[in-house]
């Protein structure tokens, strides 16, 4: 287990991160804006996820928001810029100016292959979500208040979503004349089914945490999602880290590959784990409780 530490956020501190006993506690930190997403928030989410991916001591992650909401979506200032015809993604404007690329060119950034989709260039919003899926360890989102638009897509990047019963979740992009562009069109149908995904998208209706669980949009309802998430993360951090990482990888593979490859990967993981130091320690700890 690693000692208490920090993920060293950027000076703007839009994202806070503390690592204690293998659990990374990541918090969106714009409570006065209901943790709305701006350019700085996107950059810090990506940077924080990448730092955690490189930290072998991290065994589980909790993703939550400070204040009364998880994330209310894209900051209204970005929509105002869109309405006025002004640039609303400063980092993309600067990148195009530096590279002298045409406006519709999305030139690759260094390290795009690290997001698990080699050969594909991801947008910043996609990276801010997908970085949590390419982490080797489980990521648990704790949702209270709002998870709307981009905020909901961010939550979809987690492996597990614990949600307050009175939370409000919604696919709101069409209200602003947009479509989802933070992996939501690909992830949402896998969770709730194609017809429900279309209903949520076309209607832009908000659902409660309880309905979200019924639809498959969230995992389970909790009165105190962050407390529950931290407790779950602590229990995961106490398990064999090699087996936990293999379990996430194998479960994700079930959505992407065929059964033949999946069965082969299962056997390889078992052969790798059984008899290892971490697995033998787990068995000894389990047997202690039976004596």
Please report, for the domain that includes residue 125, its CATH number.
3.90.226.10
Listed in sequence order, the residues at least 6 apart from 24 whose beta carbon sits closer than 8 Å to its beta carbon are 7, 17, 18, 52, 55, 58, 60, 61, 62
Structural domain count, the chain: 2
C-alpha to C-alpha distance for 16 and 5, rounded to whole angstroms: 12
CB 43 within 8 A of CB 87: no
- Please report the pLDDT score of residue 111 as a whole number: 40
On whether both 245 and 119 belong to a single domain, the answer is no
C-alpha to C-alpha distance for 133 and 138, rounded to whole angstroms: 8
Range of the domain at 137: 5-237
Question: Which H or E run contains 234?
Answer: helix 225-237
What three-state secondary structure class fits 283? helix
pTM tops 0.85: no
Q: Which of 126, 134, 141 is nearest to 212 (CA)?
A: 141
On whether both 230 and 250 belong to a single domain, the answer is no
Q: How many other CB atoms are there within 10 angstroms of residue 20's CB atom? A: 15
On whether both 153 and 246 belong to a single domain, the answer is no
- Please report the pLDDT score of residue 266 as a whole number: 72
On whether both 145 and 74 belong to a single domain, the answer is yes
On whether both 245 and 229 belong to a single domain, the answer is no
The pair of structure tokens assigned to 238 is: 């106490």
pLDDT (tens, 9 = 90+) of the chain, 291 residues, equals: 445 566 655 455 899 999 999 999 999 999 999 999 998 999 999 999 999 999 999 999 999 999 999 999 988 766 566 565 665 565 554 444 444 444 444 443 434 445 766 667 788 899 999 999 999 999 999 999 999 999 999 999 999 999 999 999 999 999 988 899 999 999 999 999 999 999 999 999 999 999 999 999 999 999 999 999 999 999 999 999 999 999 999 999 888 777 777 777 777 777 888 788 988 888 888 788 775
Domain boundary among 194, 219, 237: 237
C-alpha to C-alpha distance for 231 and 186, rounded to whole angstroms: 30
Listed in sequence order, the residues at least 6 apart from 267 whose beta carbon sits closer than 8 Å to its beta carbon are none
DSSP string, 49-93: HHHHHT-TT--EEEEEESTT-SB--B-HHHHHHHHHT--S-HHHH
C-alpha to C-alpha distance for 16 and 180, rounded to whole angstroms: 26
On whether both 216 and 277 belong to a single domain, the answer is no
On whether both 96 and 65 belong to a single domain, the answer is yes
On whether both 149 and 10 belong to a single domain, the answer is yes
Strands 60-65 and 139-143: parallel
- Please report the pLDDT score of residue 78 as a whole number: 64
Phi then psi for residue 21, to 5 deg, are 50, 45
**Hunting for tokens 């590279």 — which residue is that?**
99
The pair of structure tokens assigned to 164 is: 């307050």
The pair of structure tokens assigned to 88 is: 């609303």
Question: Which H or E run contains 98?
Answer: helix 90-99
On whether both 162 and 270 belong to a single domain, the answer is no
What's the DSSP call for residue 4? S
On whether both 216 and 265 belong to a single domain, the answer is no
On whether both 216 and 250 belong to a single domain, the answer is no
């Amino acid at each position: 287990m690693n000692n208490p530490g920090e993920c060293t956020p950027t000076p703007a501190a839009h994202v806070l991160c503390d690592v204690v006993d293998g659990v990374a506690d990541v918090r969106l930190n714009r409570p006065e804006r209901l943790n709305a997403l701006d350019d700085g928030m996107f950059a810090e989410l990506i940077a924080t996820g990448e730092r955690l991916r490189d930290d072998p001591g991290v065994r589980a992650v909790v993703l939550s928001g400070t204040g009364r909401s998880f994330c209310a979506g894209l900051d209204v200032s970005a929509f105002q810029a869109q309405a006025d015809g002004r640039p609303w993604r400063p980092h993309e404007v600067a990148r195009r100016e530096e590279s002298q690329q045409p406006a519709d060119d999305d030139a690759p950034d260094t390290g795009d292959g690290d997001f698990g989709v080699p050969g594909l260039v991801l947008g910043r919003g996609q990276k801010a979500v997908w970085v949590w899926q390419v982490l080797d360890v489980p990521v648990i989102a704790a949702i209270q208040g709002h998870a709307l638009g981009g905020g909901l897509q961010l939550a979809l990047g987690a492996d597990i979503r614990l949600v307050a019963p009175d939370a409000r979740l919604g696919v709101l992009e069409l209200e602003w004349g947009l479509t989802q562009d933070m992996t939501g069109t690909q992830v949402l149908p896998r969770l709730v089914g194609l017809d429900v995904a279309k209903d949520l998208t076309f209607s832009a209706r908000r659902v409660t945490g309880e309905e979200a669980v019924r639809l498959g949009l969230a995992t389970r309802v909790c009165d105190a999602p962050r407390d529950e998430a931290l407790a779950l993360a602590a229990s995961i951090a106490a398990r064999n880290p090699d087996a936990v990482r293999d379990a996430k990888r194998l479960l994700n593979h079930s959505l992407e590959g065929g059964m033949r490859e999946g069965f082969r990967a299962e056997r390889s993981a078992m052969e790798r784990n059984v008899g290892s130091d971490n697995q033998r320690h787990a068995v000894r700890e389990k047997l202690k409780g039976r004596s």
